[in-house]
Structure 1
Amino acid sequence: MQWLVGQWAAGARTAEGRNSLSPTLLLWSYALAIAAVGCLPRIPPPIFLATLAVALLCCALLLQSRRRLVPLLLAVFAGAGWGSWHNRQALAERLPLSAHGADFLLQVEVASLPESRVSALREGDSEAAINLRFSARVLGQLEGGELSSPPQGQLLDLTWYRADADIRRQLRAGSRWNLPVRLKRPRGSVNPHGFDYEGWLLRRGVYATGYVRPGDHTPQFLDSFKGLPAMRHWLRDRLVEQPARRPELLRALLLGDRSGLDSDDRRLLRETGTAHLLAISGLHVGMVAGFFLLIGNLLGRLIGAVTGTSLFAPAVFLALAGSLGYTLLAGAPLSAQRALAMTWVLLLAWQWRRRIGPGLAYSLALALVLTLQPLAFFGAGFWLSFIAVGALLLAFSHRVRLRRDTDDTEPGYARRMGRGFAGLLFSQWVVTLALLLPSLVFFSGFSLAGMLMNLVAIPWLGLLILPMLLLGTLLIWTPVSGWFIGFAGWQLDLLMGFLEQGRSMLPAWQTLALPLGTFGLFLAALGVLLLLLPAGLPGRRLGWLFLLPPLLPFLPQVNGEDDLRVTVLDVGQGLAVVLRTRQQRLLYDTGPLSGSGWSAGSQIIAPYLLGEGIPVLDTVVVSHGDRDHAGGFVGLVETIPPGRVIAPGLLTDRFNNFPQRTTANCRAGEKETLGDLNLLWLWPEDGEVSGEENDHSCVALVEWRGVRLLLAGDISSGVEQQLALRYPDLPPVDLLLAPHHGSRSSSSAVFIRWAQPANAIFSAGFRHHFGHPHPEVVERYRNAGARIWNTASSGAVTFSWSGAKEPRISLARDAGRFWYRKSADK
């Protein structure tokens, strides 16, 4: 598909002449207006947009150039109006905050392929239970008390915890159920450089999240509705039955179902820069379109042989229909919808290539994608897709085609083959160069071997694996289907082996933080743009100078000023605190590990550290062994290696097998210096404790140039009283990490008078069933004159001291995205 885009860009001609930029400019203005409205911290009211539109149109009518200006303003306000209306509707179609945590009895239809995840073992369990995650469409409400029911047709993301074998057999895509559910307003942790789960739910149109909660009502299976979801589930079952060594790879490639991929396969694909091979995107939709284009072209030639007139229309029609069918079969995720829109524009532009140019087709695809989903530009896939296609158009648009060889001799054929391979190699180089910066920005790394791996893997997948899989799917009711699917599975297994060998022989994924700031990113993007310009332009090679900073990780960091930064990350009901100075990078606790396997260490802490330019940690303190404090450790060390681990008592034995240099205990009365941080351990007194209990927590008083921080773990009021007696002359602290998330059993009045905190922060889950922080505790801190912060309502909170006694405070939910403000707990 990359080569096809390049050839079209190189050979397309436009017939609009001097006016060819006019529709392109209008489409760009329309698309940018949609994006601009989505970036506003608040959605402008309709009256504001209407008043501004009338005012500017009146001004345009007074200008001499109104014939050009009026259409431009109309395009801008069409985009702004559509984006504003859509965003307002997206916010309105979410569960009201008043119904957060309420129970409903709903009739639903399963809309996605259920994903099975192994649950954590509970005490007394003989084997791990299975949790099912799925999306469901509301068909109606049976009971719900006085609360308004979810409107019919709304989408829910649900989890069925500890589902038995009968439930797993009956819960199929397309099946209908009466389910008692507890629903929650779409909500997610908000952290710098982290995945925006809340925004992702908003883009998908999810009305609420929740879980099946059998109680007074028993879940009731109704029937299996026949339709596209049921067909997808049936195909998944058929793929499992095929003679393939790894059917989960075939499911990911055909149906977009990646739930069966294990961690080793995911890591292999990421480290070799080929993760896109099994994620339904423009690559797959383009390959399917190309496959049907080839079939249609052969059909057109056969018709031409009979009628004497060669037809190209059947090829385009089959490509359009095939790409649409494949997108629907894959579940029509946002990435596939975006790829489908771009593919259709490309195919139609190629069909009408003498009347539409690459620039107009590109802007049309951009406008179409943003019309379908005005918030699509917040996803990384949007930028990767459009940057890759834009780079190909830019690199090939001014390349001159050489005249075809007029003879059929071997040298001419060899030259054509050589030029074709050179074009393929050049297109892969262009995409690799163009996606270097987005890869660093979104994923904090890049694969050095990605270009060579993709040069082999993409044709292998597109010419052998995917066509055979599609043929096997089309012939699924025939005996030869198993041969085609088996052949695809065999080839896919060989491809994974090739990637494994390549990873061992070539430089693989390189983790690289990119703290460049806005100006640095602009310069790096300018460097890429210069390098993609046509060869021969003066100064083109200077682009490498602009790319030098992100390619040299040993350069001084932009944010390496002499200050203390403390970030309490939003990890839900758990704790993770990052302390940064010029000489020390310290992490206090590693966040939770959920029963489904989600780890705050890999999903929140590691992306934050890499985004901030911290590829390694000097010290990790695990306050105690509770899952909400120590659970994220394993996920963290897979990406960020710690230099030293400190834990209470015997808990250090748990970390001896992990790749860090040393382990140590925290013990009351001991002092140590970590770079320019001075630590006084206040608790526990006994070095032989198990380290698993709340009252075994490592309690540390951290001092930096007169700034004092008190990190208190999960200690209870009993330990708090002992601390007040043991250290009666403790100076007032500037920041107190409230013990046990603000539990009623901690933060006693004696403790608060002893610590005298200027700022107190609670790390808690939004409206969690534990009810942290307790209102009485909040009132105690407020009466003591402390400023109060809560990650549940503010997201991650960052305190910065640079010599001044008063810190600068930034809240992640003040990042300017309109859905954060609407989600705030009032």
Structure 2
Amino acid sequence: MTVGELRQARTWSSTIPVALALLIGVSVVQWLPKLPPHGVLVILAACACALAWRVPCTRWLVVLIFGFAWAAWRGSAAMDARLPKAWEGEDFQAIGHVVGLAQIKAGTTSVQFRIEHVARDGQALPWQGLARISWYDKPTSEPEPCSRWHVLLRLRRPRGTVDPGGADGERSALARGISAVGYVRDDASNTRLSTSAWCLDRWRGSLAEGIQARVHDPHDAALLRAFTVGDTRGLDAQDWDVARANGISHLIAISGFHVGVAAIFGVWLCYGLYALWPSLALRCPRGQAQALAALSCAFIYAGLAGFGMPTVRTVLMIAAMALARCLRRTAGSGHILAIALIAMLLVDPLAVLEAGFWLSFIGVAFLILCMDAKGRGIRAFLHELTVGQIVMTISLLPLTLWFFGEASLVGAFSNLVAVPFVSFVIVPCALFGMLLLIVCPPLATPPLRVAEWLTHAQWWLLEQTAAWPGTHWFLPTVKPWALVLAMLGAVWLFMPRGVPLRVLGALLFLPLSWPVRQPPDIGAFQAWILDVGQGLSVIVRTHDHVLVYDAGARYPSDYDLGSAVVVPSLHALGMDRLDVLMISHADNDHAGGAPVVAAAFPAARRYAGEPARMPSPMKQFPMEQCVAGQHWNWDGVNFRVLSPSAGAQDATANDHSCVLLVEGRAGRLLLTGDIGMDTEPRVAMAVGPGPRPVLQVPHHGSNGSSGTGFIAAVEPELAIVSAGWRNRFGHPRPEVMARYAAARVPVFNTAVAGAVQIDFPATAPAYVAARWRVLARRYWREE
């Protein structure tokens, strides 16, 4: 080996450790509850430079420190870019342009809006940023991509619910650069100013419309739009459920395979040009030209797909490979992946906040680990399509459970069929049709129709396998140490041949697959007042039983708190069975999510304060009337229904609420729904003597409830309000909070505290309360 080759090998060998050190430094920042001040970051960067100069052998530590400082600085800058807190809830005259494709659902049109100028009361304000805004009435004209608008906005900082197992909306907003959320106020000045003559997102939208117009079946058209241009607007919750059940969500969101197909098209196109005009080789070597053609086609297609994480990762890998080819260097797959990782972290260190980053890079890393030694050619290709799917399913299982709380045990089989068929049959056919849409639209219909038939057949098969056992495998929240052990086990399991006792790597999956569960003791119980915005949902668990009281709201946009918060929280807390579902009354903010919860646990017994008024989907899940006097005992814990009385003719629907008292050996919990002051005296009398209860504040803290006499009679030790952040009702009302303060009752508000967890042990102390915004504190979650 020559000196140059040795130097080149040494350079490539240092790439992977540098990438790992940078990744560790960036990732550590995301666990911080608070970011360090800028001065500390400057000192860290200076120390790293001094260390690199004085002690060259510590370069990996230097890279790690640099990654930490870089990620912290970018995170701090992103938090500072958010809408100032003092401006929340105010109206602004804003001028900006639409980014991406509009999400149009029943009664709501949502877009990402890049605000260029903002004013309040006619005075310009020094703020710009990306906002997610919605029209709740039909806009004067459709907000097309890149169109500029003048609108009256009411804005606030991004804020999401914080629950066990729930999605983290604030983290997603930070990762995507969203600095504000809000809605368009009805105003005569709302108008579209102009529309850009050319725009990549508009091109995406027109291609999606062209596919929709040429494909007969709307559902098949929606799938083809997702496969080709990453437009998932036509897919509903059932489609995503089928995708998750089969472990093929990555295909719907456009995988790296699709970008690879576009790159191969670029290589073939270049090969054809050189075959027609051989003299081109005199001006530019064919190898370098093919590399650049592959990169160009991959980049263009990634743009059409919306630059999702898997597509960006693939483009970066192709760019690294093209660079090595143009420089006449050789590089292994691992080094190319490392270069792509370094580039991604340098450009956007906050990308590590998204699940797609980890699933994409780690999945490819495992494929490289297991496939690099398999040679080249068709045999290696087939090996990757078959054994590779098993490798991906097992190796990504820990991360899938960590991010989503569920995994598919049939994913390996589904991917074995779907990946090659979608990536090498459906997608090329659809892309050919899309190419014809651009150059000759009349000729696009036949290939798109063929792609429609193929897609219909593929989706029918996926719907059948989605009904197999093991398609939805739920586990409690994965502990960090169990995740690390399982990932080490996957690495050990798929190490090259010759590594001893590789099968023992499977043992490191045991803490992940069989987590330790700690149910309450006999006579004790636990409760979680979930953070469901302007609504209510409570989980109560005894040693062997579980009850859900209310299930949050369901909105016209199809956002359902039952599926987004309640069911994931049950699974995250290790509850795979529900014994009783009780819906206090039929208002949407209490009953809207009930159909999803009932469908997830059909064997549960169901009670309601207003069975006849329940949402129409609940007709297949009949509800029993809850009546004062009903009672039962689970594991030494008593449950008593205190209201409504049999035959009572309450004036309002709120007063029909089921009121439930849960009594353990050392503590009590009183769930009141939305009862008002007319019903409170009867409930207070029925509570009876015993330990001071923890009280769910009636009707979210409205002024028509929580009377002074009720508070004095019940004497709660702690009161918990379930309300939405900056809700339009002003709940909890200041006068209500003043009544609790006068009685010296501490109050937690889920809008501020997130989900509230209360442990009632079998012996003193009476209860222990914890707020999830404090338990799971991160720098992007605001209190």
TM-score, length-normalised on structure 2? Answer: 0.91
The answer to whether the 8 Å contact 1:649/1:686 transfers is no
Task: Give the CA deviation at 1:798.
Answer: 1.0
Q: Aligned pair 1:733/2:692, yes or no?
A: yes
The answer to whether the 8 Å contact 2:759/2:767 transfers is yes
CA–CA distance in structure 2, aligned partners of residues 28 and 353 of structure 1 = 26
Q: Which residue of 171, 192, 201 maps to 1:221?
A: 192
Amino acid at match of 1:86: R
The residue matched to 2:186 in structure 1 has which SS?
coil
Amino acid at match of 2:73: W
CA–CA distance in structure 1, aligned partners of residues 307 and 297 of structure 2 = 13
Deviations 1:595-650 (A, max 9, x none): 21211000111111112211221111101111001111123334344511111254
Deviations 1:260-312 (A, max 9, x none): 11343333222222222211343332332233234334445555598599722
Amino acid at match of 1:24: I
Q: 2:505 aligns to what?
A: 543
Q: 1:752 aligns to what?
A: 711
The answer to whether the 8 Å contact 1:272/1:508 transfers is no
Task: Give the CA deviation at 1:556.
Answer: 7.2
Residue segments in structure 2 that go unaligned for 5+ positions in a row: none
The 5-angstrom pairing of residues 496-535 of structure 1 reads 496-503=459-466, 507=469, 509-515=471-477, 517-535=479-497
Q: Aligned pair 1:330/2:290, yes or no?
A: no
Q: Which residue of 120, 125, 130 maps to 1:144?
A: 120
Q: Which residue of 180, 190, 194 maps to 2:162?
A: 190
Question: Residue 144 and residue 452 in structure 1: after superposition, are their counterparts in 2 closer, same or farther (change >3 A)?
Answer: same
The answer to whether the 8 Å contact 1:106/1:139 transfers is yes
Amino acid at match of 2:110: R
CA–CA distance in structure 2, aligned partners of residues 666 and 481 of structure 1 = 60
Q: 1:488 aligns to what?
A: 451
CA–CA distance in structure 1, aligned partners of residues 378 and 712 of structure 2 = 81
Amino acid at match of 1:731: G
The answer to whether the 8 Å contact 1:299/1:315 transfers is no
CA–CA distance in structure 2, aligned partners of residues 691 and 513 of structure 1 = 44
Q: 2:251 aligns to what?
A: 277
Task: Give the CA deviation at 1:684.
Answer: 0.6
Q: 1:713 aligns to what?
A: 673
Q: 1:405 aligns to what?
A: none
Task: Give the CA deviation at 1:61.
Answer: 7.0
The residue matched to 2:151 in structure 1 has which SS?
strand
Question: Residue 218 and residue 516 in structure 1: after superposition, are their counterparts in 2 closer, same or farther (change >3 A)?
Answer: closer
Task: Give the CA deviation at 1:134.
Answer: 1.2
Deviations 1:778-812 (A, max 9, x none): 12222222222111111111112333315333222
Q: Aligned pair 1:97/2:85, yes or no?
A: yes
Amino acid at match of 2:629: G
Task: Give the CA deviation at 1:375.
Answer: 1.9
Q: 1:267 aligns to what?
A: 241
The answer to whether the 8 Å contact 1:394/1:533 transfers is yes
Identity of aligned residues (%): 33
The residue matched to 1:754 in structure 2 has which SS?
helix
Task: Give the CA deviation at 1:252.
Answer: 1.6
Q: 1:68 aligns to what?
A: 57
Q: Which residue of 287, 304, 308 maps to 1:312?
A: 287
The answer to whether the 8 Å contact 2:626/2:641 transfers is yes
The residue matched to 1:607 in structure 2 has which SS?
helix
Q: 2:347 aligns to what?
A: 372
The answer to whether the 8 Å contact 2:48/2:62 transfers is no
Amino acid at match of 1:248: A
> Which moves more between the two structures, 448-457 or 765-774?
448-457
Question: Residue 789 and residue 503 in structure 1: after superposition, are their counterparts in 2 closer, same or farther (change >3 A)?
Answer: closer
Deviations 1:645-686 (A, max 9, x none): 1112544876996676x8433222332223442112111113
The answer to whether the 8 Å contact 2:694/2:717 transfers is yes
Amino acid at match of 2:40: F
Q: Aligned pair 1:46/2:6, yes or no?
A: no
The residue matched to 2:286 in structure 1 has which SS?
coil
Q: Aligned pair 1:792/2:767, yes or no?
A: no
The answer to whether the 8 Å contact 1:300/1:310 transfers is no
> Which moves more between the two structures, 601-610 or 227-236?
227-236
Q: Aligned pair 1:471/2:436, yes or no?
A: no
The answer to whether the 8 Å contact 1:511/1:615 transfers is no
CA–CA distance in structure 2, aligned partners of residues 739 and 68 of structure 1 = 64
Deviations 1:497-529 (A, max 9, x none): 23234446x546133214553333333223222
CA–CA distance in structure 1, aligned partners of residues 316 and 280 of structure 2 = 34
Question: Residue 56 and residue 279 in structure 1: after superposition, are their counterparts in 2 closer, same or farther (change >3 A)?
Answer: closer
> Which moves more between the two structures, 643-652 or 533-542?
643-652
Residue segments in structure 1 that go unaligned for 5+ positions in a row: 1-12, 119-129, 403-415
CA–CA distance in structure 1, aligned partners of residues 232 and 558 of structure 2 = 15
The 5-angstrom pairing of residues 254-653 of structure 1 reads 254-300=228-274, 311-334=286-309, 336-348=311-323, 355-397=330-372, 399=373, 401=375, 420-476=381-437, 477-478=439-440, 479-503=442-466, 507=469, 509-515=471-477, 517-548=479-510, 550-551=512-513, 557-560=516-519, 562=521, 563-641=524-602, 643-651=604-612
The answer to whether the 8 Å contact 1:157/1:209 transfers is yes
Task: Give the CA deviation at 1:67.
Answer: 2.3
CA–CA distance in structure 2, aligned partners of residues 451 and 29 of structure 1 = 32
Question: Residue 653 and residue 772 in structure 1: after superposition, are their counterparts in 2 closer, same or farther (change >3 A)?
Answer: closer
The residue matched to 1:114 in structure 2 has which SS?
strand
Amino acid at match of 1:493: H
CA–CA distance in structure 1, aligned partners of residues 238 and 327 of structure 2 = 45
Q: Aligned pair 1:108/2:67, yes or no?
A: no
Amino acid at match of 1:47: G
The answer to whether the 8 Å contact 1:648/1:690 transfers is no
The residue matched to 1:718 in structure 2 has which SS?
coil
Amino acid at match of 1:670: Q
Question: Residue 54 and residue 447 in structure 1: after superposition, are their counterparts in 2 closer, same or farther (change >3 A)?
Answer: closer
Question: Residue 163 and residue 819 in structure 1: after superposition, are their counterparts in 2 closer, same or farther (change >3 A)?
Answer: same
Task: Give the CA deviation at 1:571.
Answer: 0.7
The answer to whether the 8 Å contact 1:702/1:710 transfers is yes
Q: Which residue of 136, 160, 163 maps to 1:161?
A: 136
Question: Residue 221 and residue 686 in structure 1: after superposition, are their counterparts in 2 closer, same or farther (change >3 A)?
Answer: same
Deviations 1:721-759 (A, max 9, x none): 2333x3374334331111111111111111111111111
Task: Give the CA deviation at 1:380.
Answer: 1.4
CA–CA distance in structure 2, aligned partners of residues 54 and 305 of structure 1 = 54
Question: Residue 536 and residue 611 in structure 1: after superposition, are their counterparts in 2 closer, same or farther (change >3 A)?
Answer: same
Amino acid at match of 1:151: W
The answer to whether the 8 Å contact 2:570/2:576 transfers is yes
Question: Residue 445 and residue 186 in structure 1: after superposition, are their counterparts in 2 closer, same or farther (change >3 A)?
Answer: closer
Q: Which residue of 23, 40, 52 maps to 1:31?
A: 23
Task: Give the CA deviation at 1:774.
Answer: 1.2
Amino acid at match of 1:313: Q
Amino acid at match of 1:220: T
Task: Give the CA deviation at 1:55.
Answer: 5.3
The residue matched to 1:30 in structure 2 has which SS?
helix
Q: Aligned pair 1:77/2:65, yes or no?
A: yes
The residue matched to 1:538 in structure 2 has which SS?
coil
CA–CA distance in structure 2, aligned partners of residues 117 and 97 of structure 1 = 30
The answer to whether the 8 Å contact 2:687/2:714 transfers is no
Task: Give the CA deviation at 1:234.
Answer: 2.3
The residue matched to 1:818 in structure 2 has which SS?
coil
Q: Aligned pair 1:677/2:649, yes or no?
A: no
RMSD: 2.9
TM-score, length-normalised on structure 1? Answer: 0.86
The answer to whether the 8 Å contact 2:706/2:736 transfers is yes
The residue matched to 1:111 in structure 2 has which SS?
strand
The answer to whether the 8 Å contact 1:732/1:756 transfers is no
The residue matched to 2:472 in structure 1 has which SS?
strand
